[in-house]
Structure 1
Amino acid sequence: MKIVEIREKTVPISSPIRNAYIDFSKMTLSLVAVVTDVIRDGKPVIGYGFNSNGRYGQGTLMRERFIPRILEADPASLVDDAGTNLDPHKIWNCMFTNEKPGGHGERSVAIGTIDMAVWDAVAKIEGKPLFQLLADRYGNGQADRKIFVYAAGGYYYPGQDHGKLKDEMRSYIDRGYTVVKKKIGGADLDEDLRRIDSVLSVLQDGQKLAVDANGRFNLDTAIKYAKALSQYDLFWYEEPGDPLDFELQATLRNYYKNPMATGEDLFSMQDARNLVRYGGMRADRDWLQFDCALSYGLVEYLRTLDMLREHGWSPKRCIPHGGHQMSLNIAAGLGLGGNESYPDLFQPYGGFPDGVTVDDGHIMLPELPGIGFEGKADLYREMVKLA
């Protein structure tokens, strides 16, 4: 049993939208296929993966460092002790060979993308949905296929007015979402508050709005927004300052009592631990948004979950960034609090398998082998072209 080939292709997911920090006009991602010599139904088992939006494709790092390390390793060193499947932890260790600790920005994305494809292959070889494999190996064997999802949108874009913003949010509510998210910080505070009022005007009882500053604010601006946002019952106030400015985050709790969220731009267990230690995050109300596809993959995410438990945090306080099926499987298999969703953006890489609908803010994951990419026709067409 071995990996015979790993392919990577950098693909565009460009869009005219922007948040408070970047625009997406040149955005790309890496699509990866891990081809094995295991045959199922007359075909080789192939695992697929891709990185989340907001961080660009990492093909150069993969081709120069991480893919060669896997392919040059003794195949026997990359399988489990029984010799019946690939071992994602051994493959991860192989990729990290000769890498110094720290500096997690770009290589964490490259490794995380390959790691996703490895787990897809492992679950397919075992003949299980990934969520069930995770529940069996790391949980109590009981996966919860019903997952909370929220609709992320509300970006700034040319020609957008309040009417179009309201129409966008209505479309999410009409599709079954109960929580929607919009961007802040890309306009001045008064305009952002008017945009919030516009969105709230279309929400009904039991429906909530989250806002996301994408790390734009310094401390003074973050506090000014916190005071203004306190008049609303928001689902959360997300990433007000630089993701590594733990003092800013810790100070902000003195000015904002409602839930806050951050973590999507922290790419290792160690950075996540520093947030929990020094960022003033409150385990009874705040949310953690670590995204395995950007932060060294599921192998590292398992370490992060162990660390969180040691610090008194429940996995239920984790709602990952990214809107991809990998995190949906982790949520179902390991008991996370839900997952982000991009109903209309970054397609075909976001979203759910075909036929899956949102009902009262939740979806039901179907029983598909691996991560379930084969159940999303537009995405699987792109994957087949690669492999």
Structure 2
Amino acid sequence: MKILEIREAVASIASPIRNAYIDFSKMTVSVVAVVTDVIRDGKPVIGYGFNSNGRYAARGLLNERFLPRLREAKPDELINDAGDNLDLHKIWSVMMSNEKPGGHGERSVAVGVVDMAIWDAVSKIAGVPLYQHLAHTYGDGKADDSVFVYAAGGYYYSGKDDSQLRAEMRRYLDLGYSVVKMKIGGASLDEDMRRIESVLEVVGGGKHLGVDANGRFDLETAVAYAEAMKKYDLFWYEEAGDPLDYQLQAELAKAYPGAMATGEKLFSHQDARNLVRHGGMRPDRDWLQFDCVLSYGLVEYMRTLEAIADEGFSSRNCIPHGGHQLSLNIAAGLKLGGNESYPEVFKPFGGFADGIRVENGRVGLPDAPGIGFEQKTDLIKLMRSITETEPGANTVR
């Protein structure tokens, strides 16, 4: 077997929203389709991948470095020893050939996009859902039958008042979520506390609400927010400071007894290990949000799980950023703590298979080979349409 073709495109997920650091008015994602010579139901198996929101499309890196390496590789450099499927670890090594260690920036996004597409193809070729493939190949043989999910929203945008924020959170509860998340740090401390208290009136207590500062705060501000929020007993206090400022995170842990969450902007197992070693993270209450698609893909994510296990953290401490179906499969197959969800933004890349509802804060998975993209009509339609156009004309605006 072999890879016949790798297609790349760019899609827009622009939205008039902002967090404490950036707006999403020009946000894009890369989409990759890996076409194999394996035939299922009369058609070639195609694996699809895309990157999570918050990082822009990686078109230059994909086309200048990583895709040419795969296209130039010999077929046996990309398949397993049995010759009946692609080999994720070989493919990852080919993509990362001639790359120096360190420098975990946007190249981790480019590799992660392709990695997602390969995992989709591998599990389709195997004829099983990815979560089952992961459970049997890398886990304990049994996948979780449902996954905890929380609804991420509460963004700032022009003209949005507290009543609109409350209405948004009510919609999430009505959809079946038991925990919601909102942004902080894009307004004054007093205004954000008012916004938090407004949402608490709707959700029924702090255990149902997480807050996210998106790395906006210095230590003094992070501690000031911590002192103001202690009384709420929130689900978590997310990403108070710069993601690489482990000392700030460690000092904040001394001031804030509640649960904290961070890690979505760390892109390697080395960075993850440094966070849990030096960032004051506590295995009994804190959450790790590493997003495999932004951090070199699932091949590297499994190294990350090993690295944090060595420091006393469980896979159950992990609730990945991104809100996509790959992380949902990983959460079920490798027994993570849950997954993020974006019910109202970044469509159609977030969300779950058609017809699968959130119930009591948990969601099931489709019984279909691969990641399950084909079970999400609007997403698979978009990915097929933009990756089947002519090269050079495959950008959606």
Coarse TM-score class (shorter-chain normalised) = over 0.9
> Partner of 1:291 in structure 2?
291
| C-alpha spacing 1:206/1:240, structure 2 compared with 1 (3 Å) | closer
Residue 145 of structure 1: how far off its partner (Å): 2.4
Secondary structure in 2 aligned to 1:148? strand
> Partner of 2:254 in structure 1?
254
**Conserved in 1, the CA contact under 8 Å of 2:200 and 2:206?**
no
Q: Distance in 1 between matches of 2:62 and 2:4?
A: 16
When normalised by structure 2's length, the TM-score is 0.96
Q: Distance in 1 between matches of 2:331 and 2:212?
A: 22
Root mean square deviation, CA, Å: 0.9
Matches within 5 A, 1:107-118: 107-118=107-118
**Conserved in 1, the CA contact under 8 Å of 2:207 and 2:235?**
no
Residue 312 of structure 1: how far off its partner (Å): 1.1
> Partner of 1:346 in structure 2?
346
Residue 189 of structure 1: how far off its partner (Å): 0.1
> Partner of 1:47 in structure 2?
47
Give the letter aligned to residue 308 of structure 2: L
**Conserved in 2, the CA contact under 8 Å of 1:357 and 1:363?**
yes
Matched, 1:68 2:68: yes
**Conserved in 2, the CA contact under 8 Å of 1:178 and 1:206?**
no
> Partner of 2:94 in structure 1?
94
> Partner of 1:137 in structure 2?
137
Q: Distance in 1 between matches of 2:241 and 2:306?
A: 26
**Conserved in 1, the CA contact under 8 Å of 2:206 and 2:234?**
no
Q: Distance in 2 between matches of 1:10 and 1:382?
A: 11
Matches within 5 A, 1:1-387: 1-204=1-204, 208-385=208-385, 386-387=387-388
Secondary structure in 1 aligned to 2:195? helix
> Partner of 2:391 in structure 1?
none
Equivalent pairs counted in the alignment come to 387
CA deviation string 1:183-234 (max 9, x = no partner) = 0000000000000000000113696100000000001101111111111110
CA deviation string 1:114-137 (max 9, x = no partner) = 000000000000000000000010
Q: Distance in 2 between matches of 1:294 and 1:52?
A: 7
**Conserved in 2, the CA contact under 8 Å of 1:178 and 1:207?**
no
Give the letter aligned to residue 142 of structure 1: K
Give the letter aligned to residue 312 of structure 1: G
> Partner of 2:393 in structure 1?
none
Secondary structure in 1 aligned to 2:32? strand
**Conserved in 1, the CA contact under 8 Å of 2:10 and 2:28?**
yes
When normalised by structure 1's length, the TM-score is 0.99
CA deviation string 1:277-331 (max 9, x = no partner) = 1101000000000000100000000100111111111100100000000000000
**Conserved in 2, the CA contact under 8 Å of 1:113 and 1:293?**
yes
Secondary structure in 1 aligned to 2:76? helix
Give the letter aligned to residue 248 of structure 1: L
Q: Distance in 1 between matches of 2:175 and 2:165?
A: 16
CA deviation string 1:327-381 (max 9, x = no partner) = 0000000000000000010000000000010100001112111000000000010
Q: Distance in 1 between matches of 2:334 and 2:229?
A: 33
Give the letter aligned to residue 214 of structure 2: N
**Conserved in 1, the CA contact under 8 Å of 2:206 and 2:235?**
no
Q: Which runs of 5+ in 2 are unaligned?
A: 389-397
Q: Distance in 2 between matches of 1:3 and 1:277?
A: 40
Secondary structure in 1 aligned to 2:337? coil
Q: Distance in 1 between matches of 2:268 and 2:83?
A: 29
Q: Distance in 2 between matches of 1:122 and 1:337?
A: 25
**Conserved in 1, the CA contact under 8 Å of 2:7 and 2:32?**
yes
Structure 1 stretches of 4+ with a deviation exceeding 4 A read none
Q: Distance in 1 between matches of 2:251 and 2:140?
A: 38
Q: Distance in 2 between matches of 1:201 and 1:256?
A: 23
Secondary structure in 1 aligned to 2:234? coil
Q: Distance in 2 between matches of 1:217 and 1:203?
A: 26
Q: Distance in 1 between matches of 2:371 and 2:206?
A: 31
| C-alpha spacing 1:200/1:206, structure 2 compared with 1 (3 Å) | closer
Secondary structure in 1 aligned to 2:23? coil
Instruction: Report % sequence identity.
Output: 68
Q: Distance in 1 between matches of 2:375 and 2:41?
A: 17
CA deviation string 1:6-25 (max 9, x = no partner) = 11111110000000000000
Secondary structure in 2 aligned to 1:261? strand
Give the letter aligned to residue 315 of structure 2: P
